[in-house]
Amino acid sequence: MKAVITVLGKDTVGILAKVSTECAAVGVNILEVTQSVLQGMFAMIMFVDISGCTVPFENLVDSLTETGENMGVKIHVMHEDIFNAMHKI
Amino acid sequence: MINSHDILETINMIDNENLDVRTITMGISLLDCIDDNIDIACKKVYDKICRYAEKLVKTGEDISKEYGIPIIHKRIAVTPIAMLAAACPTMSPVKFAKALDTAANTVGVNFVGGYSALVHKGFAQGDYALIESIPEALSVTEKVCSSVNIGSTKAGINMDAVAKMGKVIRKTAELTADRDCIGAAKLVVFCNAPEDNPFMAGAFHGVGEPDCVINVGVSGPGVVRAALAKAGDCNITEVADIVKKTAFKITRMGQLVAKEASKRLSVPFGIVDLSLAPTPAIGDSVAYILEEMGLEQCGAHGTTACLALLNDAVKKGGVMASSHVGGLSGAFIPVTEDAGMIAAARSKALSITKLEAMTAVCSVGLDMIAIPGDTSAEIISGIIADEAAIGMVNSKTTAVRLIPAINKKAGEELNFGGLLGSGPIMDINPKSPAKFISRGGRIPAPMQSLKN
């Protein structure tokens, strides 16, 4: 199963490192990363494979959301099907 | 590969534009709970609901977390209770209401609909007793919703039931006068009631439905408004296209949730209700969409035309996004639940007569309207009859959910809190239709009913 992690907010040092470390710790494999910084606003989109994830998906969502809050950015972790459903026929 | 623009668009819709799935409603048939001993019947009702809906709330929460979509309500709709009450004619059906309320609390849903009777052609055993018991049932329970179908395109309008419901609505408000008359906010009178509607207060599980079914109601007025705002000065054809495209995306999300819920609960998927359901939250208003189309305020001349376009475009966009569409499907215009409608009613831009015209082109009817506390039962019946006539002739669902604000007059406010919102008490025409209402009988079905 694949998921999409998005990080939105003010650019700060170490966002990518922090999120990817957390993913690695629970066996989440990062497949692709795109990111842009526009006028200090940071937008990162990560495609990840969570089939090897060692913790329940809800826990991953909770811990990354919390990480985001601590860093002052908004992190969403969502199943990829939601985007496929809404944007592809 | 998913485009990053699409991802950010979805997240923006959820974070900033109030996109959500409004409700996952589990329909449960209670026909196998019928018993001539009301206590045994109530126990069967309680047990069956708890058994079937045990995992409903948890499943909704899991899906919400996994897909990152807020799912606001988990609810239950049951077989019209009048059918169960028919088997125990000497007992008050209020016991059923209490059993439903207890079951709702046990499984954690926020409403259970189906304290209902279908009397469009006449009263069967159980129907009259149930209708008579509605005021008490809604005052002693918290989560039970009630509806009565008094007319249909096929059957005409049962004017005896119309007369009765005027009294029942008043009595319900009186019995809950200490709680801002909230009982009446949980009671709907329908013409052409759909059997698979997931929305409250009018949800019930029709007799043609399977034993158990999952229906989903989507929402997203904020998303539609934002899409129109972004488009700027375009012509009305383009406006319709934008609404369609947005409705498609919203509905696809609803379809995904419905399919997933159905799979996880091992319950067949019924329908997705293609709806724009507002909440009192700022930015989640249907009235604001109409204003975005170019009206100074909702209620201005032109409102009915804008609403007709909106209602139609929502259906056209949604219908391809879902394999089964049903329920009410369209834009809702509940006054106290919509920030823009509340503002329009307060400033008197929106009147009850304009709302009546709007109901001819929206998905339901006169919904969540507070009226002066001294309004007579006959006038309420007159409003019901007018609304039912619009539904009957246009082969559409219409409904009336009025809240007589006991001991208050026009201009004052009622406040229910939460999703039911608040709003001003609206002026009504005080001339009496008493003689018309007292005639009783049945308005014959119109020519439109003879399609065979």
In angstroms, the separation between the Cα of residue B59 and the nearest Cα of chain A is: 12
Rounded-to-integer distance, Cα B245 and Cα B316, Å: 9
CB-defined contacts A:B, below 8 A: 60
What DSSP designation does B182 have?
G
pLDDT at B16: 87
- Quick one: fold of B216-449? Anaerobic Ribonucleotide-triphosphate Reductase Large Chain (3.20.70)
Name the helix (H) or strand (E) containing A41.
strand A41-49
Give contacts of B256 with chain A, Cβ < 8 Å: 81-82, 85
* Residue B252 contacts A, CB cutoff 8 Å: yes
> How much is the pLDDT for B88?
94
User: Between chains, do B66 and A57 touch, taking CB under 8 Å as contact?
Assistant: yes
Q: Which residue of A has its CA nearest to B247?
A: A86
Instruction: Give pLDDT, residue B266.
Output: 97
- DSSP β-ladder status, B144-152 and B187-191: parallel
Residue keyed to tokens 């009410």: B328
Residue B420 has a pLDDT of 86
How far apart CA B314 and CA B211 sit, in angstroms, is 30
Question: What distance in Å separates residue B202's CA from the closest CA in chain A?
Answer: 29
Mean pLDDT by 10 residues, chain B (452 residues): 86 90 96 96 97 96 94 96 95 96 97 97 95 97 97 98 98 96 96 96 96 94 94 95 95 95 97 92 92 97 97 95 93 94 96 96 93 96 98 96 95 88 94 97 95 87
pTM for this model (two decimals): 0.94
Determine whether the interchain pair A43/B62 forms a contact, defined as Cβ–Cβ distance below 8 Å: no
Report the pLDDT value the prediction gives residue B363, as an integer from 0 to 100.
85
Per-residue pLDDT of B207-248, as tens digits, reads 999 999 999 999 889 999 999 999 989 999 999 999 999 999
Chain B partners within 8 Å of A6 (Cβ): 7-8, 11
Looking at residue B215, its amino acid is: N
**Contact state of B68 with A84 under an 8 Å Cβ cutoff:** no
Residue among B7, B15, B66 minimizing CB distance to A83? B7
Tell me what pLDDT residue B5 has: 87
Radius of gyration of chain B (CA): 21
pLDDT of residue A41 exceeding 90: no
Residue B68 near chain A (CB below 8 Å): yes
Contact of B185 with B416, CB cutoff 8 Å: yes
What is the percentage of chain A residues whose pLDDT exceeds 70? 100
pLDDT reading at A37 higher than 90: no
CB within 8 Å: A83 and B6: yes
Contact A82 B65 (CB under 8 A): no
How far CA B313 is from CA of B307, B316, B329, in Å, comes to: 10, 5, 11
Instruction: Name the packing angle between helices B127-140 and B94-107 (round to 10°).
Output: 50
Residues of B in contact with A85 (CB under 8 A): 252-253, 255-256
Q: What is the pLDDT of residue B135?
A: 97
Dump pLDDT digits (tens) for B211-222: 999 999 998 899
Fold matches, B23-191 and B216-449: yes
pLDDT at A40 over 90: no
Q: Inform me whether the pLDDT recorded for A11 exceeds 90.
A: no
Average pLDDT, chain A: 91
Structural domains of chain A, ranges and CATH numbers in brackets: 2-87 (3.30.70.260)
DSSP result, B378-425 = HHHHHHHHHHHHHHHHTTS-EEEEEEEETT--TT-EEE--GGG-EEEB
Option in A34, A77, A82 nearest B256 (CB): A82
Is the CB of A58 less than 8 angstroms away from the CB of B62?
A: yes
More confident residue, B146 or A10: B146
Separation between Cα atoms, residue B14 and residue B251, nearest integer Å: 14
Q: Distance (Å, rounded) from C-alpha B444 to C-alpha B423?
A: 36
Topology of the domain comprising B23-191: Anaerobic Ribonucleotide-triphosphate Reductase Large Chain (3.20.70)
Interface residue ranges in chain A relative to chain B, Cβ cutoff 8 Å: 4, 6, 8, 34, 43, 45, 47, 57-58, 61, 74, 76-87
Domain ranges of chain B: 23-191, 216-449
